[in-house]
Amino acid sequence: MLLGVLVHAADVQDADSAGELLTRIKRLYCWLRAVFADSIYNRMPVILACFRLGLTLIIVRRITGGGFILVPRRWVVERSLGWLGRWRRLSKDYEELPEVSETMVTLAMIRLRLHRLAHPNRKRLPPP
């Protein structure tokens, strides 16, 4: 379930803008207490934003070793990005404005959620 989305220019690091996204999310979902993040988010701006908002930042690290190793919580983001890639408008970078990209991501997740509510026993979503 998508709680929030923030699209920015490519010259902005994700970890530098994570504070803005966390502020948006916390304003809407005051019950949120913990955030799972990749190791790139183990930076001072993210840590300060989590501290200021009263969130617990849990860094999920990659396990070193050969081959594929399933790590809990890491696959959630990859799976979600795979679902978004099936949405035709999100398969390439068609949009010029970040706001339009944010809207397209939101619409794709709304469609996915509606499909799951309408068909609880069906796993796959038909192409848009």
What architecture is the 14-118 domain classified under in CATH?
A: 2-Layer Sandwich (3.30)
In the chain, domain spans: 14-118
Task: Please report, in angstroms and rounded to a whole number, the separation of the first and last CA atoms in the chain.
Answer: 19
Q: Furthest-apart CA pair in the chain: how many Å?
A: 43
Q: Is the pLDDT of residue 70 over 80?
A: no
Q: Please give the residue that has the higher pLDDT: either 62 or 25.
A: 25
Q: Is the pLDDT of residue 92 over 90?
A: no
Chain centroid to Cα 59, Å, comes to 15
How does pLDDT run across 39-64, given as a tens digit for each residue?
888 899 899 999 999 999 998 877 77
For residues 100-122, average pLDDT: 87
